[in-house]
Structure 1
Amino acid sequence: MSEFDAQSIAASLKSESRIRRKPRTYAQRRSLLDNYKYELLQLDAAGCNGSELRRWIADDKGITVERSTVNRWLHRNRQHG
């Protein structure tokens, strides 16, 4: 009866996962909100908050996102300085 070597099996599985893992494509990194960047940034500059922007994108564009997603997107795309 052979001995079970969890460490070597785990190492083998992990190296195989690295090979199988697909890199993200450009399309996967883009947000649906990027399509409305100009409008969202203009509304943000006009004083709309994340909830209001979420409601606008849902009502006018038919895209359902969470408020936190809009806030994260704004944080990444605002012109700081």
Structure 2
Amino acid sequence: MSEFDAQSIAARLKSESRIRRKPKTYAQRRSLLDTYTHELLQLDAAGCNGTELQRWLAEKGVTVERSTVNRWLHRNRKQHDG
């Protein structure tokens, strides 16, 4: 009969928990703005600025800071242009 080593099993489980709990980085998370990718990029191409896009999103029920809109645009312009 093999011996049950609770300490080593507990240490292994705790180690696995830390790995599973590791938060995703911002780049790995999905943005609320991703739902409106097509529309936001079209409005941006039509000349809307971040404040105008923020107001348009507010009409859709999405509360977001202008800086977030600008950061999202900067990241997604590159991905969709290239």
Note whether the superposition's TM-score is higher than 0.5.
yes
Equivalenced residue count is 62
User: Is 2:54 aligned against 1:32?
Assistant: no
Counting only pairs closer than 5 Å after superposition, residues 54-73 of structure 1 correspond to structure 2 as 54-59=54-59, 61-73=60-72
Counting only pairs closer than 5 Å after superposition, residues 1-81 of structure 1 correspond to structure 2 as 19=18, 21-24=21-24, 29-59=29-59, 61-79=60-78, 80=81
Residue 54 of structure 1 and its aligned partner are, at CA, apart by: 0.3
CA distance in 1, matches of 2:68, 2:23: 23
Other structure's SS at 1:78 match = helix
Residue deviations 1:33-71, cap 9 Å, x none? 000000000000000000000000001x10000000000
CA distance in 2, matches of 1:69, 1:44: 14
With normalisation by structure 2, the TM-score equals: 0.65
Alignment RMSD: 2.5
Deviating 4+ runs (over 2 angstroms)? 19-25
Where do 5+ consecutive residues of structure 2 fail to align? Answer: 1-14
Where do 5+ consecutive residues of structure 1 fail to align? Answer: 1-15
Residue 22 of structure 1 and its aligned partner are, at CA, apart by: 2.3
Q: Percent identity?
A: 77
